[in-house]
Amino acid sequence: MADIFHALDDETRRTILDELVLRNGQTLFEICAVLTGRHGVSTSRQGISQHLRVLEEAGLIGIERQGRSKLHFLTPDPLRQIARRWPTPGEQP
């Protein structure tokens, strides 16, 4: 679970997850373009790749190859596990 919190600790990684919620299955090129255009993130393509690697290692995204492209998909299960661990008052665990 520490990997998940580490991955979520960075604003750029949270923004990547937000964008995958809006449109799942994006390539690295698409993610870089939307981060630059919509969010003004000026990180290099290599930097975004490193962020994606951290998210993948934490289990927050999955990767699927289609030909020469790698598509990135949100994997929400680790976030659900966190939500189940700390239910709000009045909820049953």
Q: Which of 48, 63, 58 is nearest to 5 (CA)?
A: 58
Task: Give the pLDDT score at 92.
Answer: 63
8 A C-beta contact, residue 7 and residue 55? yes
Q: 70 and 28 in contact (C-beta within 8 Å)?
A: yes
Domain ranges of the chain: 2-83
The domain made up of 2-83 is a member of CATH 1.10.10.10: yes
The whole-model pTM stands at 0.89
Taking the chain (93 residues) in runs of 10, the rounded mean pLDDT of each run is: 93 98 97 97 96 98 96 95 82 63
Closest CA to 60 of 73, 48, 47: 73
Q: What is the pLDDT of residue 46?
A: 97
- Structure confidence at residue 51 (pLDDT): 98
Q: Say which residues have a Cβ less than 8 Å from residue 23's Cβ, sequence separation at least 6.
A: none
State how far the Cα of 65 lies from the Cα of 44, in Å rounded to an integer: 22
